[in-house]
Amino acid sequence: MIQETTEKLNRCREKALARDIPTVDVERWLGVVRRCATLSPQANGPVVGRLGGPLMLPPDVPDPEYPLIASLDLAALPQDATDLPLPPDGQLLLFACPEASAWGSEIPLGSAAYVPVGTTVEERWLDFSDTGEEFASYQEVSELQGELRLRYDISLPDHDDIIDKAEHPHAAELREVWGQVRGEGLKVIGWDRLQIGGYATDCGMDPVTSSAVSAARTERAGLRPGTGEATHPEDWVLLAEWHPSLPGWEDAVAHWSIRRQDAAARRFNRAYVSVFWF
């Protein structure tokens, strides 16, 4: 963990202790911190990906249902930047639909694809006009273009339903402290950002847990192919979270959740995508 994230953790500690929260409770809380990468055009780290196209896919891969949000160069993303079992190289492509009309749907509102290094690819030109004129046009908005630069970051729980209240009796205050510290960082990075790994931000429920439940339900309904493997909510982790700054979608947030086992096995097509509106 580099100096920047250490300083962020120290600010959380100082603010929590200033509220007279017992040291043992503060340290127990900080002990569940997760490493994550915050990617933004405004960050000052190395380039690890880009927003928007062009869309490059292997010839035998079907067209995605939704537009490309971002592509990540995993060779440029340091292995210690997140707590995820990501491949050391290749491209990770993230697709999503930020439409307000899709909120609350259990049908996956996006996908992810992994393209191993050395794979033959071709550029795809896709028409999404049948998803709605407004949605299709967002690809042309200048904000969804440009380089994604790395900022090492940390993440702490932001949902009551994933916190053991008996173990963390001061969780409400500690979440509030974390929200203040995280907000300070947003003044530097800005709203338009992509988080890789860590915990999901508060959307009224934990998107990762709800994605695990929805994925199982859609598999039983035949809307998503199953693997026959037993799955449990605790197996699921946040792959990515996107906060757009595009006009009309500033209140949207998209989450790509995945079983840790699927990420380790490079089955990124098993990711489940949900979209929430604040």
Q: What is the CATH number of the domain that holds 149?
A: 2.30.320.10
133 pLDDT band, cuts 50/70/90, is: very low
Between 15-19, 38-42, 163-167, the lowest mean confidence (pLDDT) is in 163-167
Enter the pTM of the model.
Answer: 0.90
Terminal CA-to-CA distance of the chain, rounded, Å? 31
Average pLDDT for 116-138: 72
More confident residue, 131 or 276: 276
* Contact yes or no for 79/88 (Cβ under 8 A): yes
What distance in Å separates the CA atoms of residue 154 and residue 167, rounded to the nearest whole number? 21
Q: pLDDT > 70: what percent of the chain? A: 85
**How far, CA to CA in Å, does 79 sit from each of 36, 83, 113, 116, 118?**
11, 8, 19, 16, 20
Tally of domains within the chain: 1
For residue 76, the enclosing domain spans 3-277
In the prediction, which pLDDT does 125 show? 82
In the prediction, which pLDDT does 3 show? 77
In the prediction, which pLDDT does 142 show? 47
Question: Smallest Cα–Cα separation from 272: which of 194, 208, 226?
Answer: 208
